[in-house]
Structure 1
Amino acid sequence: MQGSSVHDIHSPKQEHCSRLCAPLCFRGTLVRMSSTAHGARARARVEVTAAIKEEARRQLAEDGAAKLSLRAVARELGMASSALYRYFPNRDDLLTALIIDAYDSVGEAAEAARDAAGGTGPVPRWTAVCEGVRRWALGHPHEYALIYGTPVPGYSAPRTTVPPAARGAMVLIGILRDAHRGPGLAGPALPAELRPEAVRMAADLAPDLPPEVVVAMVAVWAQLFGLIGFELFGQFNRVVEDRDTFFRHAVGHLAHTVGLR
């Protein structure tokens, strides 16, 4: 990124040069030159976008999401605000990009933990995934706070955040699905007053699972992040000493809650 800017990427000089080179198209030269220039612009855009998001994450860690400022990001990167707006037109667009990245990152951690557990039984795989999510959270506390902490005032997440947000849950649902197709699940009976359609996950993410399992999964999903949040934000200080063992025991209990045996 150093030594270049957004203005370099779309400069009038380059456009003028392209017009002057037009006659070269008969020898195929323009095609090669245009392809090279397009590739350079694409790479530059990726690099600048990554730098903007990295600086924004640094500011999140320092000041919190509510104080995130495009002007401050631009200033730290030595960019004009008008140049940064070409990448992220407003603060909410930048926040959305950071939120999607965070959800994808925790989702990747969950998937990697599942894959590392290999062909073990459902409870060990479930435990491995939960521990993978916890490790990610402890290593990325500010990104965790962005997606599972206090809502950012004035920000409303668009629907584009929904698939990344479901990524981690789908890993655990996959374990439940495998168990349901194999040895079966021993989930608790659904209370008569709680209709299955009251929990949207049953229809949206896991219509093939018993409703009582999906309802339990929603509660367990909330409890998992409650455990992680309590540890991350200090509520376990002077309460839980051996947190690794405690967490493993707790997520084992959650596995039983959703019917894994």
Structure 2
Amino acid sequence: MSSSRTARERVRAELTREITDIARGQLATEGATGLSLRAVAREMGMVSSAIYRYFPSRDDLLTALIIDGYNALGEAVEQADAAVPREDHTGRWLAVCHAVRDWALAHPHEYALLYGSPVPGYKAPVDTVAAAVRDTVVYGRIVSDAHGAGVLNPPGGLPAPPASFGDDAARVRAVIPEVPDDVVSRALLAWTGLFGWVSFEIFGQFNNAVLDPATAFEHTMRCHAAVLGLPV
């Protein structure tokens, strides 16, 4: 009986993987709004009713794709950070930046699902949160480690965050622990700057303007590191 259940579970896992693989292909051709369980079933040679045993609705399939995407990006970021010596905080930051960009360039349609326009009518459940913050946790650890090591030395003249930022900073400290509000503020600037650049590049906003995006990206990420206070 146990081996029979294991076989069924293995078949289910394989079919689930095939469904999500085909759905990722649909993202490339139809976009997230065009994702269709019936179309996936047709491509698999399944009756449409059968696929609902694996994903009861389109939103359930979207959620699975989103979680898979966040986990893939998070794993890429974790591996990039782990490959750099712990005391090289700037090197860790740059490695994470390049991991985000490299993953996005290799998976533009999945990146668009995660960071592009919201899908009308879809509301991401809390199931996506743990996967969504994997990369952010790594980034927060780099900033927290650098602050703890006393190596953050931001340029002079930066405005202090407004008093109203205090509550926001307290929430952000869930992923950037034990740092003051001004470090949180600069960390947000750098992190959103990273994803702003990547989104501009993925969605074609740099076309005919930035002709050497790889070099410009490296320079920009070093500038963000300097504003954060990392040694560059």
TM superposition score category, shorter chain reference: over 0.9
Q: What CA RMSD, in Å, does the superposition of the two structures yield over aligned residues? A: 1.6
Give the aligned partner of residue 61 of structure 1: 28
Unaligned runs of 5+ in 2: none
How many residues align? The count is 228
**TM-score normalized by structure 2?**
0.92
Task: Determine the C-alpha separation between the residues in 2 that align with 1:249 and 1:93.
Answer: 40
Is 2:186 aligned against 1:216?
A: yes
**TM-score normalized by structure 1?**
0.82
Give the aligned partner of residue 202 of structure 1: 172
Task: Determine the C-alpha separation between the residues in 2 that align with 1:59 and 1:174.
Answer: 36
Task: Determine the C-alpha separation between the residues in 1 that align with 2:221 and 2:126.
Answer: 29
203-212 vs 45-54, greater mean Cα deviation: 203-212
Is 2:217 aligned against 1:247?
A: yes
Task: Determine the C-alpha separation between the residues in 1 that align with 2:14 and 2:192.
Answer: 36
Summarize the alignment of residues 49-128 of structure 1 with structure 2, pairs less than 5 Å apart.
49-119=16-86, 121-128=88-95
Give the aligned partner of residue 44 of structure 1: 11
Task: Determine the C-alpha separation between the residues in 2 that align with 1:121 and 1:228.
Answer: 23
Task: Determine the C-alpha separation between the residues in 1 that align with 2:120 and 2:170.
Answer: 26
Deviations 1:6-65 (A, max 9, x none): xxxxxxxxxxxxxxxxxxxxxxxxxxxx11101101100110000000010001100100
- Identical residues among aligned pairs (%): 49
Give the aligned partner of residue 18 of structure 1: none
Partner letter of residue 229 of structure 2?
G
Partner letter of residue 72 of structure 1?
A
Unaligned runs of 5+ in 1: 1-33
Alpha carbons of structure 1 residues 192 and 119: separation in structure 2 relative to 1, 3 Å? closer
The answer to which structure, 1 or 2, has the higher relative contact order (CA under 8 A, 6+ apart) is 2
Partner letter of residue 57 of structure 1?
R
- How far does residue 120 in structure 1 lie from its aligned partner after superposition? 5.8
Is the partner of 2:145 in helix, strand or coil?
helix
Task: Determine the C-alpha separation between the residues in 1 that align with 2:87 and 2:102.
Answer: 20
Task: Determine the C-alpha separation between the residues in 1 that align with 2:67 and 2:222.
Answer: 29
CA contact (8 A) 2:63 2:128 kept: yes
Partner letter of residue 240 of structure 1?
V
- How far does residue 237 in structure 1 lie from its aligned partner after superposition? 1.4
